[in-house]
Amino acid sequence: MRGLMGAAAAAIVFVGFAGSVTAAEGGYPKQNWSFDGVFGSFDRAALQRGFQVYQEVCAGCHGIKYIAFRNLTEIGLSEDQVKAIAAEYEVEDGPDDEGEMFERPAILSDIIPLPFANDNAARASNNGALPPDLSLMAKARPGGPDYLHALLIGYEDEPDDVTLNEGMSYNRYFSGNQIAMPPPLDDDAVEYSDGTAATVDQMSSDVVHFMMWAAEPKLEVRKRMGIKVMLFLLVLTALLYASKRKIWARVDH
């Protein structure tokens, strides 16, 4: 048994070491997210508000290319609602029988149309900076959702000893503090239909919630399955341990 504890401890030390050396540095306020923890799940109302913020504020510059309209049924919208949302967009399709490209309203299987035709067009419209795609943003920065939330509320006037480059804004959480994205959110930038007050902090939380879902859409099914798997393995391992004790009781060791 002592050996077992030692071996298990060694495994935990190894994995713990691996985890600690890969954990991100902090510096930004930690938020309480409903999707954190073993039982975590997405807040559907927050996801829908977050989608609204994305659609009305972010989507002007940032694409979210791994999300199709059909995926939006997962944030609690009905298929008819999503069809109506899709129909507001025009997308290019084709070629038709005459070999011509044509425009048509978007359908469920289309991805949410991108704001720019290509990276050069995006840079040309944004002072030379490239607004990154947001599909994976919540996993693509150390600190993840906490960092993104901090970034969105982190805009300030620059300190006296800092001279900003042209077109740049000061953000206390951005690496180097000079960020090409102008402050995207003001109070009441959107009007929530559920009556939630659209403060900068609220909109930031909501849109980050939405981005976390976009980056990790299988989070809920993963955690649900994980609980079942862990319970199964705990029972199995306990039975195996009991069997091992019983079999080894036949001999001195």
Where along the sequence are the contacts to another protein (CB under 8 A)? 3-4, 6-8, 10-12, 14-15, 17-19, 21-24, 38, 66, 71, 132, 135-136, 139-142, 144, 175, 215, 217-218, 222-223, 225-227, 229-230, 233-234, 236-237, 240-241, 243-244, 247-248, 250-253
Q: Give whichever of 97 and 253 is closer to another protein, judged by the CB atom.
A: 253
Q: How far apart are CA 223 and CA 166, in angstroms?
A: 46
**Residue 151 token pair:** 């970034």
Taking the complex as a whole, the smallest distance from the CB of residue 3 to another protein amounts, in Å, to 4
User: What's the number of CA atoms in the CB half-sphere (13 Å) around residue 181?
Assistant: 21
Taking the complex as a whole, the smallest distance from the CB of residue 37 to another protein amounts, in Å, to 9
Burial class of 115 by CB neighbour count within 10 A (0 to 12, 13 to 18, 19+): middle
**DSSP E strand boundaries for the chain:** 90-93, 102-105, 169-170, 178-179
Q: How far apart are CA 242 and CA 253, in angstroms?
A: 16
Q: Give whichever of 144 and 184 is closer to another protein, judged by the CB atom.
A: 144
Q: Exposure pattern of 125-137 as b/e (b: 16+ CB <10 Å)?
A: ebeeeebebbbbb
Q: Give whichever of 144 and 190 is closer to another protein, judged by the CB atom.
A: 144
Taking the complex as a whole, the smallest distance from the CB of residue 11 to another protein amounts, in Å, to 6
Nearest to 208 by CA among 49, 71, 67, 61: 49
Taking the complex as a whole, the smallest distance from the CB of residue 35 to another protein amounts, in Å, to 12
What is the DSSP secondary structure assignment for residue 78, as one 8-state letter?
-
Q: Give whichever of 24 and 162 is closer to another protein, judged by the CB atom.
A: 24
Taking the complex as a whole, the smallest distance from the CB of residue 150 to another protein amounts, in Å, to 15
Q: Give whichever of 41 and 237 is closer to another protein, judged by the CB atom.
A: 237
Q: Give whichever of 30 and 222 is closer to another protein, judged by the CB atom.
A: 222
Kindly give, in sequence order, each residue whose CB lies less than 8 Å from that of residue 75, ignoring residues fewer than 6 positions away.
Answer: 42, 44, 47, 48, 51, 210, 213
Taking the complex as a whole, the smallest distance from the CB of residue 7 to another protein amounts, in Å, to 4
